[in-house]
C-alpha cells in the first residue's frame, strides 16, 4: 500500500501559507488535484497564473469566511466539481484577549472562520461524498481543543467546537466510508505563532515541550496525509494531538 492521491480532489482551506500551504503541497506532490483557499485577491490571481503556466494541479480561490456572501459564492464555485474526495478545514483565526475585553465582532469573526465555515463546507461536500461512498474530512483544531490558557477564551471555545463538529459529523457520515477526524497541532512555527508569541515565549515553550523543539508544518501535514490516505481505514471521530508531548506534562 502506498500514499497516492492520483485522481483525488482535495480541498484545503487557508492553504496559501503556514500549515495549510504545506498540507496542500504534500497532497499535490502525492498526485492529488488541490483546491486551495486564501484571502488576498491579488495573490490568488498570481498563484493561479503560476499554477496554470507550470501545469500544476492547484486551483486557488479567494474566500473570506467572515462574510456569508463570500462563502456562498465559493460554494457555487465548488458546485462545478462533481466530487470532493478530501476536505481539510485548516483556515483559522487566533486573537488573544481576556474575556472582559473580547468585543462581539472579534468573537463573531473567530466563530465564523473556525467553526461556521467548516460546518458549511462539510454540509456542502458531504452529499457528493455520500454518493461516492468515499470521503475523508480532517478538521484542524489545536491543543486548545484539549486544554485552556488565559486570554484564550474565544479561541478555546472555537477549537472545542471544531472537535465537537468532528464528533458529530463522524457519527452521521462514517457509515458511508467517510472518515472524519480532528488534528490538533501544538506550537508550530508559522506566521500565526510569530505574531502571537514573543521570542522569549518561544524559547520558554521549547523547554516545556518533551520533544524539546517547536513543531514544524511538516509534523502536522504528515498526520493529515496519513488520516486522509488509504492507510487510514478505520480511524474516525478522533482528535489526534500532534504537539511533541506538550499536553502530557
Ligand atoms: P496562519 O495564520 O499562518 O494561516 C491561517 C490561514 O487561515 C491563512 O491561510 C488564512 O488565509 C486563513 N484565514 C484566516 N482568516 C480567514 C478568513 N477570514 N477567511 C478565510 N480564511 C482565513 O495560521 P497557521 O498557523 O498555518 O494555522 C493553520 C491552522 O492551524 C489554524 O486553524 C490554526 O488555528 C491551527 N493551529 C495553528 C497552530 C500554530 O502553532 N501555528 C497551533 C494550533 C493550531
On whether residue 207 sits in a domain, the answer given is no
In total, how many domains does the chain have?
A: 1
Contact in structure between 19 and 188 (CB atoms under 8 Å): yes
Q: Which domain holds residue 151?
A: 9-188+216-238
Q: What number does the ligand 1 atom closest to the CA of 91 have? A: 7
What residues have CB less than 8 Å from 104, skipping those under 6 apart? none
In the structure grid, which three cell numbers stand for residue 65, read together? 469566511
- Interacting residues of 69 by C-beta distance below 8 A, sequence separation 6+: none
Q: Are the C-beta atoms of 192 and 200 separated by less than 8 Å?
A: no
Domain presence at residue 105: yes
Does the residue 182 lie in any domain? yes
pLDDT at 192: 84
- Please indicate, yes or no, if residue 227 is contained in any of the structural domains: yes
Cell 477564551 appears where?
Answer: 153
CATH of the domain at 46: 3.40.50.720
The verdict on the CB of residue 93 being under 6 Å from ligand 1 is: yes
pLDDT at 140 (0 to 100): 99
Domain assignment present for residue 199? The answer is no
Q: Tell me how far the alpha carbon of residue 154 lies from the centroid of ligand 1, in angstroms.
A: 15
Centre of ligand 1 to C-alpha 11, Å, is 15
242 alpha carbon to ligand 1 midpoint, in Å?
Answer: 16
Please indicate whether residue 36, judged by its CB atom, sits closer than 6 Å to ligand 1.
Answer: no
* Residue of minimum CA distance from atom 44 in ligand 1: 142
Establish whether residue 18 lines the binding site of ligand 1, counting it when its CB lies within 6 angstroms of any ligand atom. Answer: yes
How do residues 140-160 score in pLDDT, each as one tens digit?
A: 999 999 999 999 999 999 999
146, part of any domain: yes
Catalytic site includes residue 81: no
Q: Which residue positions in the chain have pLDDT lower than 70?
A: none
Q: Is the dihedral of CA 97, 103, 109, 115 positive or negative?
A: positive
Atom of ligand 1 nearest to the CA of 16: 9
**Would 109 be classed as within a structural domain?**
yes
DSSP 175-197: GGTEEEEEEEE-SB-SHHHHHHS
- Per-residue confidence (pLDDT) for residue 1, from 0 to 100: 75
Residue 200 lies in a domain: no
Contact by Cβ (8 Å): 156, 143? no
Amino acid at each position: 500500500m502506498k500514499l497516492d492521491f492520483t485522481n483525488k480532489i482535495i480541498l484545503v482551506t487557508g492553504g496559501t501559507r503556514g500549515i495549510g500551504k504545506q498540507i496542500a503541497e504534500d497532497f499535490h506532490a502525492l498526485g492529488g488535484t488541490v483546491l486551495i483557499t486564501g484571502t488576498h485577491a491579488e495573490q490568488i490571481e498570481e498563484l493561479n497564473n503560476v499554477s496554470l503556466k507550470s501545469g500544476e494541479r492547484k486551483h486557488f480561490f479567494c474566500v473570506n469566511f467572515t462574510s456569508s456572501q463570500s462563502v456562498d459564492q465559493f460554494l457555487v464555485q465548488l458546485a462545478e466539481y462533481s466530487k470532493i474526495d478530501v476536505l481539510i478545514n485548516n483556515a483559522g483565526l487566533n486573537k488573544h484577549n481576556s474575556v472582559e475585553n473580547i468585543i462581539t465582532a472579534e468573537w463573531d469573526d473567530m466563530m465564523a472562520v473556525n467553526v461556521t465555515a467548516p460546518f458549511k463546507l462539510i454540509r456542502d461536500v458531504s452529499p457528493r461524498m455520500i454518493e461516492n461512498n468515499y470521503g475523508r474530512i480532517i478538521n484542524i483544531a489545536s491543543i486548545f481543543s484539549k486544554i485552556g490558557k488565559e486570554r484564550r477564551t474565544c479561541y478555546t471555545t472555537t477549537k472545542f467546537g471544531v472537535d465537537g463538529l468532528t464528533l458529530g459529523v463522524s457519527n452521521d457520515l462514517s457509515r458511508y466510508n467517510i472518515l472524519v477526524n480532528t488534528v490538533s497541532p501544538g506550537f508550530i512555527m508559522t506566521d500565526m505563532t510569530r505574531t502571537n508569541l514573543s521570542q522569549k515565549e518561544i524559547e520558554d515553550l521549547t523547554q516545556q515541550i518533551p520533544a524539546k523543539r517547536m513543531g514544524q508544518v511538516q509534523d502536522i501535514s504528515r498526520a493529515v496525509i496519513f488520516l486522509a490516505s488509504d492507510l487510514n481505514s478505520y480511524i474516525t471521530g478522533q482528535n489526534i494531538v500532534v504537539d511533541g508531548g506538550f499536553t502530557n506534562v
